[in-house]
Amino acid sequence: MNPDLRILIALQDLDQKIATLQKEIADVPNRVQSFKDELQRLQQAHQQRLTHCQELTKRRRTHEGEVEMMRSKLSRLKDQLMTVKTNKEYTAMLHEIQMAEAQIRSEEDKILDIMEELETLEGELKNSEKAITGRTSELQNGIGRLEESVPVLESEVARVLAEKKLTEERVEIALLSHYRRIAAARKGLALAEAKDELCSACHIRIRPQVYADLRRSETIFHCDSCDRILFLREAL
């Protein structure tokens, strides 16, 4: 294999590593925000359950107050029942007592329904509190690790850039310019492996003569389709 081609392969590997590291750094803010958004959703869902629980408790107290008032009214009606003097008044008073008792039963049924809902909700709250505590810790740790990773990644980028600079110095200027031109036009990939008589980048078949020459010649060949510089992995 052409010695310059070996250097170009190493150079492309460094370029790809730099691109990967830079993408990781660029992705950190979005990943951090994603964790923060999830944390906020968990907290909001828990707060909604708490608010609903408080509302149910308030409604229960209201109904309990209504029952207490109706019981007092019922007690007064029963006391008054003993003082009525006519059958008409007695019948009217009985009807009023029955209405009061029906209202009490209705309010008590509402209280029971609320108590059942509260029992279910309180169980959900306990479960969500445990889940939130665990997940909050995971998310906060994840945010911390991501934020701490940035300077480490930046340091690694600087190291690889320095290695890239040294590698570029080993390449003839015209060939380096040629490499950069192709890389700029082909999304950072100036070289492509030739495998099974295909260009691994564009998947177009390589002419048999070119593929044969790749095995025995030190000449630099290009893909007829995408113009990338071809190399054989087995020749490395």
- Per the CB < 8 A criterion, the answer to whether 179 and 11 are in contact is yes
Q: Which residue segments constitute the domains of the chain, with CATH numbers given?
A: 3-171 (1.10.287.1490), 174-235 (no CATH)
Q: Is pLDDT at 235 greater than 80 in this prediction? A: no
pTM: 0.68
Q: Cβ distance 219 to 209 under 8 Å?
A: no
Q: How far apart are CA 227 and CA 131, in angstroms?
A: 55
Check residue 48 and give its pLDDT: 87
Rounded Cα distance between 199 and 136, Å, is 48
Helix axes 3-81, 87-168, angle to 10 degrees: 170
Q: What is the pLDDT of residue 82?
A: 84
Q: What is the band of 165 on the pLDDT scale with cuts at 50, 70, 90? A: very high
pLDDT at residue 83 in the model: 87
Averaged confidence pLDDT in the chain: 92
pLDDT (average), residues 176-197: 95
182 Cβ contact list (under 8 Å, min separation 6) = 190, 227, 228, 229
Long-range contacts of 88-91 (CB under 8 A, 24+ apart): none
What pLDDT does residue 130 have? 83
| 221 against 235, higher pLDDT | 221
Higher pLDDT, 227 or 125: 227
What is the per-residue pLDDT across 94-144, written as a single tens digit (0 to 9) for each?
999 999 999 999 999 999 999 999 999 888 888 888 888 888 899 999 999
pLDDT at 234 over 80: no
Please compute the mean of the pLDDT values over residues 23-41 and round it to a whole number. 94
- Asked if residues 10 and 236 have their Cβ atoms less than 8 Å apart, the reply is no
* Average pLDDT of the segment spanning 60-67: 94
pLDDT average, residue stretch 148-172: 96
pLDDT at 150 over 90: yes
**Residue-level pLDDT at 201:** 95
Q: Measure the CA–CA gap between 49 and 168, rounded to whole angstroms.
A: 61
| pLDDT score for 124 | 84
Q: How far apart are CA 21 and CA 156, in angstroms?
A: 8
